[in-house]
A and B are shown apart, each in its own frame.
Chain A
């Protein structure tokens, strides 16, 4: 079995599982964000009174943080009452940030768990050796009721990555390149494993970017082997014990891909499609109105670091809106302590609080018709950040920051950090 299958087997009372089987798994972490009051409505309509295990339920107020409409505030208020009534202690309020880095930074994700959250980027936690997948509100209501989820065991594709990278490349450039090759439906119904010497040399944060954006290929879940680096980062955050899931040496992947990225240059996804990817140098000089650096894909500590580095001694081009949102409270604090926030503000950037807002166009950086934005986030569908007549280019945070300084799409200077 693959490591992911080992997790599924152990959570469904079986000795083994194989691709294509429909099984029911026990859920270790059920996460709900403030977008989906429908979870509660469906739970009540199903006849739910108490959640199956309040210790396994986590709430995040990360999308409307803080709420900017009466309706959003009211939805949150109803959720607050539910959280209190159910005795759910794992409640991350508007000050905490985006669910994925928050879950990890608070020591709640360890290898071998099943993690289900009402958010498509839940594939992120495969980088920590969990079986982790996104679900909709009604599925989550069923989980709250029963503690279980039905799952079709996925086929698994292995993406092996080799090569040494130049210092302008971040995890985002790598995953954009892979999306170009495998396309937006390249992993539909499959899980993807990222492996190879290049992955082993990446920081844990950069690895999470690969897992995070695997959903943009249609992946159900992702996986990266646990190594000494992962263990060190986990053990810095929690003393919880865990079992490392392992792939049998004779496991046969459904598909094998190898990418040698020695020559990789900074990448950009052109507006409207996450897999329409070219080298940044093909679109240099295109005027921009906004640069967004934030969210679970592009607002991690190393992204704020990259932004501060690119802006060092420079100013954001007059007329350009640079919006920076550290993805979590702990990332925000670390960036403050490192002086990055001051650097970015001095350069003319606008800091907004940790949260998802700008990425999906709910608030804090909505685009007008005709505006052009360079974004370190994960999606550039038409209308994603506001007007359907706005254009979003997806790049690394380094490229986004360099572009904000020039006022046009530009390559990062020298090292990213």
Chain B
């Protein structure tokens, strides 16, 4: 897990759903770099190519509501998003992001962060610094279990390294 993340913010609103993050017609795609081409396309077809220059998503309430499609966090990660911050998360999206090794951070006061702000996120310390507005945000650290998954780089690596397969 990368302990320190830096990037620029792309700010999204409340209730951004999984159809906006990753439209249904692309769900059959299995190749990650192809998935990346459709991340946030439901909001604006021009967004996917802007994401690697951005690096950090900051959203309002209930981010990722709707479907259980893992393509939502997966396409974001593949497109270059390194961390997702939201005032609150829809639970399936949250689990999917963590399982894919994409840190999802819950900051109820994130509304003050704007598009274009430069952020520094220190995951282990639970600290986010908005370098543009010179504001510091503290967030609750991840639970031990979630931290284990993120440190392993996702649930697949977590299980692989623990050799959990008893049916080989």
- Residues of A that sit less than 8 Å from B by CB: 22, 35-38, 41-42, 45-52, 63-64, 69, 71-72, 75, 118-120, 134-139, 141-142, 145-146, 150, 184-185, 188-189, 216, 218, 220, 273, 360-362, 379, 381-384, 386, 388
Contacts and interface: CB of A to CB of B under 8 A. Distances in A.
Contact of A379 (B19, B70, B145): B19
A71 B29 contact: yes
A361 B156 contact: no
Interface string B25-51: 101111000000000001000000000
Contacts of B89: 188
| SS class, residues of chain B in contact with chain A | loop
A335 B92 CA distance: 35
B10 interface: no
B90 interface: yes
Interface in B151-168: 154-156, 159-160, 163-168
A31 to B, nearest CB: 11
Contact of B30 (A38, A220, A273): A38
A46 B159 contact: yes
A47 B14 CA distance: 38
B68 interface: yes
B91 A47 contact: no
A356 B28 CA distance: 14
A184 B15 contact: yes
B24 A362 contact: yes
Given A36-B70, A383-B19, A383-B42, A46 B165 contact: yes
A139 B25 contact: no
A46 B160 contact: yes
B155 A49 contact: no
Given A45-B160, A120-B67, A185 B91 contact: no
Given A45-B160, A120-B68, A138-B96, A188 B20 contact: no
| SS class, residues of chain A in contact with chain B | loop
Interface string B77-111: 00000000000111110011001100000000000
B68 A146 contact: no
Contacts of B145: 22, 150
A138 B156 contact: yes
B155 A189 contact: no
A273 B15 contact: yes
B28 A69 contact: yes
A188 B99 CA distance: 19
A136 B20 contact: no
Interface stretch (B1-9, B58-66, B113-121, B124-132): B58-66
Given A184-B15, A184-B65, A47 B163 contact: yes
Given A362-B27, A381-B19, A136 B164 contact: no
B19 A220 contact: no
B54 to A, nearest CB: 21
